Amino acid sequence: MRAKNWGGDTIPRFELDKAKLATLIRRAQQAHALYERSKGRTDDRWAEWYAGYILEQLKKESDEHTN
């Protein structure tokens, strides 16, 4: 599996379809809502938060498949 570097974060290449991406975005939204509640304010950098969350989930999934 080859790796791709995205802004300092490296994840293996993988297949990602629309349904899987939509699921990841929904999960990110739910997790981010909890994050905002814990902070007591809205997060203007939500897009970066979502991106980081989604990359983290993809890394975990990739690690599960390689172990």
Q: Is residue 2 situated within a structural domain? A: no
Q: Is residue 6 situated within a structural domain? A: no
Q: Is residue 25 situated within a structural domain? A: yes
Q: How far apart are CA 6 and CA 32, in angstroms?
A: 21
Q: Is residue 9 situated within a structural domain? A: no
Q: Is residue 8 situated within a structural domain? A: no
3-21 as b/e, with b when 16 or more CB fall inside 10 Å? eeeeeeeebeeeeeeeeee
Q: Is residue 47 situated within a structural domain? A: yes
Assigned token pair, 52 = 């980081």
> How many independent structural domains does the chain possess?
1
Confidence (pTM) = 0.74
Q: How far apart are CA 38 and CA 29, in angstroms?
A: 14
Range of the domain at 37: 15-66
Q: Please report the pLDDT score of residue 29 as a whole number.
A: 96
Highest mean pLDDT among 2-11, 14-23, 30-39: 30-39
Q: Is residue 34 situated within a structural domain? A: yes
